Amino acid sequence: RPLIGVLALQGDVREHSAALEAGGAEVITVRRESELAEVDGLVLPGGESTTISRLLATFDLLDPLRARLAAGLPAYGSCAGLILLAEKVIDGRPDQHQLGGLDVIVRRNAFGRQVDSFEEDLQVTGVDGPPVHAVFIRAPWVESAGPTVEVLARVPDSQAAGAAAGRIVAVRQGNVLATSFHPELTGDARVHRLFVDMVRAAGVRGRTTES
């Protein structure tokens, strides 16, 4: 089984861990560089992207994580995690650090005050079976995506979606997966299973041994 880390600085770490285990992975929490060095893939949970980025700096994880991402570490970012992985952020805080690696521009808190939180059933490419029930919480959307980014899901045109209809909310670029929404909150592990399969396909090359 691949060993997948959940960045455990803030956010719904336990829910992600449970979904990854249901998806077939072995899971550890990551708070330090030695833990980051062990994993074959990493989940960046939702929370508050500015806070997480500051904590990454405090825990001396910012540069090691950038280096592992640049070397091809598979990563899955949900909500704030998507913001952290994006090359560019609209409406970000000036003191927000970016990890980069995902060639998208995201708009932070994009859905606006009146739809702080909403839910929608989405067709997600790569996830078979019924639509994915997506929970959005002060979510970003992908404003634009580079040519090598695969769009996996868009908000359908519905009353709940309003002006958000058609917006990109799930993407993949190589070994990096990101969603605006929180599949870890619904008890449906299919999105996590997709990530576990990506990690498995990438192999355990990334796993380094402690010296």
79 vs 194, beta carbon nearer ligand GLN: 79
Which DSSP string corresponds to 153-189? EE--S-TTTGGGTT-EEEEEETTEEEESS-GGGTT--
- CB-neighbour burial class of residue 181 (10 A; exposed 0-12, middle 13-18, buried 19+): buried
88 binds ligand GLN (CB under 6 A): no
* Contact set for ligand GLN, span 152-181 (CB under 6 A): none
- Judged by CB under 6 A, the stretch of 42-50, 57-65, 147-155, 158-166 that binds ligand GLN is 42-50
Find the shortest distance in angstroms from Cβ 113 to ligand GLN.
Answer: 12
43 neighbors 76 (Cβ within 8 angstroms): yes
- Judged by CB under 6 A, the stretch of 14-22, 23-31, 78-86, 125-133 that binds ligand GLN is 78-86
- Judged by CB under 6 A, the stretch of 19-27, 41-49, 121-129, 157-165 that binds ligand GLN is 41-49
The two tokens of residue 68 are 């592992």
48 binds ligand GLN (CB under 6 A): yes
Helix, strand or coil, per DSSP, at residue 134: strand
138 binds ligand GLN (CB under 6 A): yes
101 neighbors 149 (Cβ within 8 angstroms): no
102 binds ligand GLN (CB under 6 A): no
Helix 62-70 / helix 49-58 crossing angle, nearest 10 deg: 100
Query: How many angstroms separate the Cα of 52 from the Cα of each of 11, 67, 139?
Result: 9, 18, 15
Any binding-site annotation on 34? no
25 vs 110, beta carbon nearer ligand GLN: 110
Find the shortest distance in angstroms from Cβ 203 to ligand GLN.
Answer: 30
Q: What positions carry a catalytic annotation?
A: 79, 182, 184
Enumerate the known binding-site residues for L-glutamine.
47-49, 108, 137-138
